[in-house]
A and B are shown apart, each in its own frame.
Chain A
Amino acid sequence: MSIEAMPPEDAVRGDVPVLEVEELSVTFARRGEQPTRAVDGVSFSVAAGETVGLVGESGCGKSVTSLAVMGLLPRRGVQVGGSVRLGGTELIGAPDRTLRRLRGSEMAMVFQDPLSSLNPTVSIGTQVTEVLVEHRDMGKKEAVAEAAALLDRVGIPDPTRRLKEYPHQLSGGMRQRALIAMALACSPRLLIADEPTTALDVTIQAQILELLRELVVDSGTALVMITHDLGVVAGLCDRVHVMYAGKIIETADRHDLFARPRQPYTGGLLASVPRLDAGRGVPLTPIRGSARDAIPWAEGCAFAPRCDNAQDDCLTEVAGSTVPLEYDGPGRELRCRHPLTYPAAPAGATASGAGR
Chain B
Amino acid sequence: MLRFIVRRLLQLVPILLGLSVLLFAWLRALPGGPAQAALGERATPEAIARYNELFGLDQPIWVQYLRFLGRAVQLDFGTSARTGRAVTTEFLERMPGTVELTVFAMVFAVGVGIPLGYLAARKHGSWLDSTAVVGSLLGVAIPVFFLAYLLRLLFAVELGWLPGSGRQEVRIDATHITNFYVLDGLLTREWDAAWDAFLHLVLPGIALGTIPLAIIVRITRASVLDVVNEDYVRTANAKGLAADTVRRRHVVRNALLPVSTTIGLQTGLLLSGAVLTETVFAFGGVGSAIYDAIFARDFAILQGFILMLAVVYVLVNLLVDISYGLLDPRVRVR
Q: Is B230 an interface residue (CB 8 A)?
A: yes
Bits for B305-333, please: 1 = Cβ < 8 Å to A, else 0: 00000000000000000000001111001
Q: In the complex, what residues of B have CB within 8 A of residue A111's CB?
A: 231, 234-235, 238
Residues of B within 8 A of A118 (CB): 232, 235
Judged by a CB distance under 8 angstroms, whether B31 is at the interface is: no
Interface size on A, residues (CB 8 A): 34
Give A117 to B239 CA distance when docked, in angstroms: 12
The answer to whether A70 and B232 have CB atoms under 8 Å apart is: no
Give the shortest distance, in Å, between B261 (CB) and chain A (any CB).
15
A114-145 vs B, CB cutoff 8 Å, 1 = contact: the mask equals 00111111110010001100110000000000
A77 to nearest B CB, angstroms?
Answer: 10
- Would you call A101 and B240 a contact (CB within 8 A)? yes
Q: How far is the CA of A69 from the CA of B286 in the complex (A)?
A: 61
B170 within 8 A of A: no
Q: What sequence of 0s and 1s flags, for each residue 231-271 of chain B, a beta carbon within 8 Å of any chain A beta carbon?
A: 11011111111110100011001100100000000000000
In the bound assembly, the distance between CA atoms of A239 and B237 in angstroms comes to 28
Q: Is A100 among interface residues, defined by CB-CB distance under 8 A?
A: yes
Contact for A116 among B232, B236, B245, B249, CB less than 8 A: B232
Indicate the size class of the contact surface on chain B.
Answer: 20 to 34
Cβ-defined contact, B240 with A116, below 8 A: no
Q: Is A168 an interface residue (CB 8 A)?
A: yes
- Contact with B329, one of A102, A113, A166 (Cβ below 8 angstroms): A166
Within 8 A of B (CB), among A93-123: 96, 99-105, 108-109, 111, 113, 116-123
CA distance A114 to B84 in the complex (A): 66
Known: A121-B327, A134-B245. A179 touches B235 (CB 8 A): yes
Q: Please indicate the chain A residues that have their CB under 8 angstroms from the CB of B254 in the complex.
A: 119-121
Please report whether the interface of chain B is mostly helix, strand, loop or mixed according to DSSP. Answer: helix
> Which residues of A have CB within 8 Å of B235?
111, 117-119, 179, 182
Q: What residue in chain A is nearest B229 (Cβ atoms)?
A: A74
Contact B239 A104 (CB under 8 A): yes
Q: A102 to chain B: which residues have CB within 8 Å?
A: 240
Q: CB-CB contacts of A56-86 with B at 8 A, as 1s and 0s?
A: 0000000000000010100010000000000
Asked if A171 CB lies within 8 Å of chain B CBs, one says no
On whether the beta carbons of B238 and A108 are closer than 8 Å, the reply is yes
Confirm or deny: A169 has a beta carbon within 8 angstroms of a beta carbon on chain B.
Answer: yes
| Complex: chain B residue closest to A99, CB-CB | B240
Q: Give the residue name and chain of the B residue nearest to A120 (CB).
A: B330
Contact, CB under 8 Å: A104 / B231: no
The 8 Å CB contact of B330, one of A101, A134, A166, A183, is A166
Contacts of A117 on B, CB cut-off 8 Å? 231-232, 234-235
Q: A119-B254, A166-B330 are in contact. List 18 more A-B contacts (CB 8 A).
A: A100-B237, A103-B240, A104-B238, A108-B238, A108-B239, A111-B231, A117-B232, A119-B249, A120-B254, A121-B329, A122-B249, A122-B250, A122-B253, A134-B239, A134-B241, A134-B245, A135-B240, A168-B333
7 contacts between A and B (CB under 8 A): A70-B238, A113-B231, A118-B235, A119-B253, A130-B241, A166-B330, A183-B238
List the 7 closest pairs (A to B, CB-CB), nearest first: A103-B240, A104-B240, A116-B231, A104-B239, A119-B232, A117-B231, A166-B329
